[in-house]
């Protein structure tokens, strides 16, 4: 695997986004699904009465966006020809989206960040695991800290963990999708609990 990566076998130029994968979706199709889900989620937040049936349904399907984008960041890290530029782009868009996001969500500018922020933290977790000259125990500590900082952003620590474990278990499909599902289940349980505590329906988890 490492030899293939060094020789460029996984670079984006060698695996274009419009190539259809066998028995699956290509990256462009996955990206369009994420964009559509995110748009649906934001339209529900902006224009639908909270707790209404339309709000519940739109938010339910809109929640697809987070894990799909986490998957795309992991794929991007693996396939990009320049990981530094890739990370910088995530950081720049995280900064650009900060004020519009926090004002849209809360009506004021505060320390609350968009999904791009948590995706960037996931990217950092992967980069540290892959490149940092530290023992694995220290890398896990850094990952834990990034998960903590992720609580300030959209999707919290879940996006950080999704990106991280999708990369760590990239060569073990069973472990990859089990960890992916368990993280999603933890997010679902937390969302249901919070909605129940607020006296709301839980369909939108």
Tens of pLDDT, residue by residue over 10-53, are: 334 344 434 345 567 787 888 888 889 888 887 887 788 877 88
In tens, the pLDDT along 111-152 reads 788 899 999 999 999 999 999 999 999 999 999 999 999 999
Structure tokens at 187: 């997010």
Is there a contact between 77 and 86 (Cβ–Cβ < 8 Å)? yes
In a domain, 82, yes or no: yes
- Among the ranges given (55-64, 89-98, 141-150, 161-170), the one the predictor scored with the smallest mean pLDDT: 55-64
Backbone angle region of 19, left / alpha / beta, with phi > 0 → left and psi within -120 to 50 → alpha: beta
Predicted confidence at residue 120, as pLDDT, reads 97
Predicted confidence at residue 1, as pLDDT, reads: 41
Compute CA distances 97 → 37, 93, 109, whole Å. 18, 6, 12
| Tens-digit pLDDT profile for residues 156-196 | 899 999 999 999 999 999 999 999 999 999 988 887 777 77
Domain contains 203: no
Closest CA to 61 of 36, 83, 86: 36
pLDDT at residue number 23: 61
Domain that holds residue 149: 2-197
In a domain, 40, yes or no: yes
Residue 43 belongs to a domain: yes
| pLDDT score, position 49 | 85
Evaluate whether residue 205 is within a structural domain.
no
Predicted pLDDT of residue 204? 41
159 vs 117: CA distance, rounded Å: 10
Contact partners, residue 174, CB within 8 Å, separation at least 6: none
Which pLDDT score, from 0 to 100, does residue 106 have? 73
Percent of the chain, pLDDT > 90? 47
Residue-level pLDDT at 166: 96
What is the count of structural domains for the chain? 1
Residue 146 CB contacts under 8 Å (≥ 6 apart), including other chains: 121, 122, 124, 125, 160
**Is a pLDDT exceeding 80 seen at residue 73?**
yes
- Residue matched to tokens 């760590």: 168
Q: 192 near 205, Cβ under 8 Å?
A: yes
Q: Does any domain span residue 155?
A: yes
Q: What is the DSSP letter of 133?
A: S
Strand partners, 153: 113
SS3 23: coil
Residue 204 lies in a domain: no
| Alpha-carbon span 77 to 86, nearest angstrom | 7
Q: Is residue 106 part of a domain?
A: yes
């Amino acid at each position: 695997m490492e030899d293939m990566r060094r020789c460029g076998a996984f670079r984006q130029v060698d695996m274009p986004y419009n190539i259809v994968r066998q028995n699956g979706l290509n990256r462009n199709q996955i990206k369009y699904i994420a964009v559509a889900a995110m748009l649906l989620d934001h339209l529900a937040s902006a224009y639908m009465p909270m707790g209404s049936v339309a709000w519940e349904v739109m938010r339910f399907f809109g929640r697809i966006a987070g894990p799909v984008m986490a998957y795309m960041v992991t794929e991007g890290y693996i396939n990009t020809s320049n990981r530094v530029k890739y990370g910088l782009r995530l950081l720049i868009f995280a900064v650009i989206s900060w004020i519009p996001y926090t004002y849209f969500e809360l009506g004021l500018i505060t320390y609350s960040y968009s999904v791009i922020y948590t995706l960037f933290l996931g990217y950092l977790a992967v980069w540290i695991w892959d490149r940092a000259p530290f023992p694995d125990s220290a890398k896990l500590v850094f990952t834990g800290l990034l998960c903590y900082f992720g609580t300030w952003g959209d999707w919290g620590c879940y996006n950080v963990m999704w990106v991280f474990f999708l990369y760590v278990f990239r060569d073990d499909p069973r472990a990859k999708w089990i960890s992916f599902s368990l993280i999603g289940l933890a997010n679902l349980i937390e969302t249901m609990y919070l909605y129940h505590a607020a006296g709301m329906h839980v369909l939108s988890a």
